Structure 1
Amino acid sequence: MSAVQPVGVGLIGAGRIGSSHAHLLATRVPGARLAAVADPRPGAADALASPLGATGYAEVADLLADPGVDAVVVTATTEAHADLVEQAARAGKGVFCEKPAGLSLAEVDRGIAATAAAGVAFQVGFNRRFAPEFAAARAAVEDGRVGTPYLLRSLTRDPGLPDYGRVPAWAVFLLTLIHDFDTLLWLNPGAEPVSVYAVADALVAPEFKDAGLLDTAVVTVRFDNGALATAEANFSASYGYDVRGEVFGSAGRLEIGGQPRHALAVSDAGGRHTDTPRGDVELFGDAYAGELAEFAAAVREGREPAVTGHDARRALSIALSCIASVRSGGPVDPRVAAATVDGRVR
């Protein structure tokens, strides 16, 4: 592959986030082109791929055998992530996998080992790192502008789920708060978590609690540098998709997010109104494009991407520790607890 030739990307999984990533790869990611889409559902791959000038496949093996596919973006169902990462690595393809990269530490370790053995890039989709305000906050921390970190906070409030009955158990930790855990780790560089305590309940959809769905959670994390962090999530923010962060330290405070992303403000008899984004694609569209551009560059340049499989493992370790904490009713040591939990088990 020449230095100027775009990276041919094959996308596996034509669902909601897969469709968004496909359109970004086809239109907004420098140095990349959407080459193919694979999805086992009848007609799903062709319906997404054809209008974007890509090839649709019903079988993942056919996509991996396509000579025009240099790298793979995995947006399939969460339970398939680990196996798909390994399959792509064995085919010699660089791999971008949506979070989580597995549902246990052992699964993520398999992906790390497979991609390392193949000598291919392995990036995981923690898009907040590519949002300008979060990137600026990380730079400010590295520059010492907040001094010694004392307290950190990260939250995600989703405006609602289309079908609570189809949400996987432990989704609040494994699919939602895992972004917040990566954010907290990233904004407290060099520190490792030593204690995790999670409290969660089904407050939005209590009828699904017996099926394992918890929709509201608060997590406390203690780090080995003394900093304390909290993360919270809820699946029913009536006002829109709400993502924020904060770092408070000896020299100052950083506030991240929380501002409307639309320039239009309307003032009328009811007061002044601004719109709040209704979903992650609307709020983080540029960040999604940025992370995919970083992946394409890493593949083209033969280097490690900015967000690695090891980053994915660290965030998943906190998420799995939350499950252990909810089960035990108290704080746990993530260095021990995470290895005992499988996210598939309720």
Structure 2
Amino acid sequence: MMGTIGIAVLGTGRMAHVYGPKINAHPGLRLEVVYNPRMSSAENAAARYGGRAMDDLGAVLGDPRVDAVVIATPTNTHLEYIDKAARAGKPIYCEKPLDHSLERVEQALTTLKTHPVPFMLGFNRRFDPDNLALRNAVQTGEIGRLTMVMSWSREPSPPPIGYVRASGGYFVDATIHDIDLLCWIAGEHPVEVQAAGSCMFDPEIGAQGDFDLTMTTLKMPSGALAHINNSRACSYGFDQRLEAFGDKGMVQTLNHRDDNLVRWNDRCTVARAPLRHFFLERYDQSFYNALDEFHAALTSGRAPSATAQDGQAALAIALACAKSAKTGQAVTPDYT
């Protein structure tokens, strides 16, 4: 593709409002269309971020000014939009997860095989500069042989219960980000998972049969272990840290802060204010970088680096974690 790439954003929810400004900020992308079957929602979003508001998907996909689509709709609609965009020959950037069901993910893979178009799954945390630097340190052997990789991912407060009901469960909704990230860092997928969960913060989440606090261990083919620590609540803010430990050293990422000054006085030592960021602020740059990767893939003719197969593997692992937490047994992910 030459020149700027015209993008149609499908959906007008929270993630669409993340991608709209990022598309506008990218010199190689152009926000051409904002789509929602409810025209008023499309018009409201287009008024904020530009582009033409449209409520006819067929017209959007048939528009020659639309070179590619960004699917930012609810997870249970992804398969429909992937099918229609692929049949129209439009490259696709799709929010994660691909779906909550491995069967439906398989349908998406079949569609993309039958109608091959460039496809990228929005595992944006791969494109965070700190996370990428840590992975590069592992990949270049800076810490020697990787033996352990760990992720702490804790949210400030539980989401609305309506969101929880439609989320697919905590492992599929949240842990899947850490799963993909740690597998990407390690360069392998686990042969076995062991997970535990409880509900310590919001009884309504427990009433849905879900968890708001989980611990997960992934055993890799190399023998390396990955540990994931998740919480739906955290009194001091959005806690996001990684650690990779090898036989020759260790590398870590730290939380981002508005105030990085360390204070020592007669009231405190090394005291700082609570973390104020949530994922939109903490990973702001990563969303731009992910779109930049999509643009680079389209303009160079190569495949994007975060694939539908990556989404399939992450979902298989997340579902195995959910099964392990329910049964108390170690589980082998179903990668078939």
Same fold (TM over 0.5): yes
CA contact (8 A) 1:321 1:334 kept: yes
Counterpart check, 1:250 vs 2:264: no
Please list, as runs of the form range in 1=range in 2, the aligned pairs for 1:1-346 lying within 5 A after superposition.
1-2=1-2, 5-26=3-24, 28-167=25-164, 168-189=166-187, 191-260=188-257, 262-263=258-259, 265=261, 271=268, 272-274=271-273, 276-335=275-334
CA contact (8 A) 1:165 1:208 kept: no
1:264 positional shift: 6.1
Alpha-carbon distance between aligned partners in 2 of 1:187 and 1:287, rounded to the nearest angstrom = 16
CA contact (8 A) 2:69 2:91 kept: yes
Alpha-carbon distance between aligned partners in 2 of 1:275 and 1:215, rounded to the nearest angstrom = 21
Decide which moves more: 6-15 or 167-176: 167-176
1:249 positional shift: 1.0
Alpha-carbon distance between aligned partners in 2 of 1:234 and 1:163, rounded to the nearest angstrom = 15
1:299 positional shift: 2.0
Can you list the C-alpha shifts for 1:132-182, whole angstroms capped at 9, x where unaligned?
A: 111111111111111111111112111124512332354321121111001
Instruction: Kindly provide the amino acid, as one letter, of the partner of residue 172 in structure 2.
Output: L
Alpha-carbon distance between aligned partners in 2 of 1:42 and 1:210, rounded to the nearest angstrom = 36
Indicate how the Cα distance of structure 1 residues 270 and 175 shifts in structure 2: closer, same or farther if over 3 A, else same: farther
CA contact (8 A) 1:198 1:322 kept: yes
CA contact (8 A) 1:99 1:175 kept: no
CA contact (8 A) 1:172 1:233 kept: no
- Count of residue pairs brought into register by the alignment: 332
Residue number in structure 2 paired with 1:342: none
Can you list the C-alpha shifts for 1:260-313, whole angstroms capped at 9, x where unaligned?
A: 2x3564969865534624211100111110001111221233220121111111
Instruction: Kindly provide the amino acid, as one letter, of the partner of residue 333 in structure 2.
Output: P
CA contact (8 A) 2:149 2:226 kept: yes
| CA RMSD between the two structures | 2.1
Instruction: Kindly provide the amino acid, as one letter, of the partner of residue 245 in structure 2.
Output: F
CA contact (8 A) 1:30 1:293 kept: no
Instruction: Kindly provide the amino acid, as one letter, of the partner of residue 332 in structure 2.
Output: D
Query: TM-score w.r.t. structure 1 length?
Result: 0.89
Alpha-carbon distance between aligned partners in 2 of 1:169 and 1:233, rounded to the nearest angstrom = 15
Can you list the C-alpha shifts for 1:82-106, whole angstroms capped at 9, x where unaligned?
A: 2221221111111111110112223
Alpha-carbon distance between aligned partners in 1 of 2:267 and 2:35, rounded to the nearest angstrom = 49
Decide which moves more: 98-107 or 172-181: 98-107
CA contact (8 A) 2:256 2:282 kept: no
CA contact (8 A) 1:169 1:213 kept: no
Indicate how the Cα distance of structure 1 residues 35 and 220 shifts in structure 2: closer, same or farther if over 3 A, else same: same
Gaps of 5+ in 2: none
Instruction: Kindly provide the amino acid, as one letter, of the partner of residue 241 in structure 1.
Output: F
Gaps of 5+ in 1: 340-346
Alpha-carbon distance between aligned partners in 2 of 1:314 and 1:199, rounded to the nearest angstrom = 20
SS of the residue corresponding to residue 93 of structure 2 reads: strand
Alpha-carbon distance between aligned partners in 2 of 1:230 and 1:241, rounded to the nearest angstrom = 18
Alpha-carbon distance between aligned partners in 2 of 1:234 and 1:42, rounded to the nearest angstrom = 37
CA contact (8 A) 1:219 1:231 kept: yes
Residue number in structure 2 paired with 1:344: none
Alpha-carbon distance between aligned partners in 2 of 1:242 and 1:153, rounded to the nearest angstrom = 13
Indicate how the Cα distance of structure 1 residues 88 and 76 shifts in structure 2: closer, same or farther if over 3 A, else same: same
Alpha-carbon distance between aligned partners in 1 of 2:161 and 2:277, rounded to the nearest angstrom = 18
Instruction: Kindly provide the amino acid, as one letter, of the partner of residue 229 in structure 2.
Output: E
Alpha-carbon distance between aligned partners in 2 of 1:223 and 1:325, rounded to the nearest angstrom = 16
Query: TM-score w.r.t. structure 2 length?
Result: 0.92
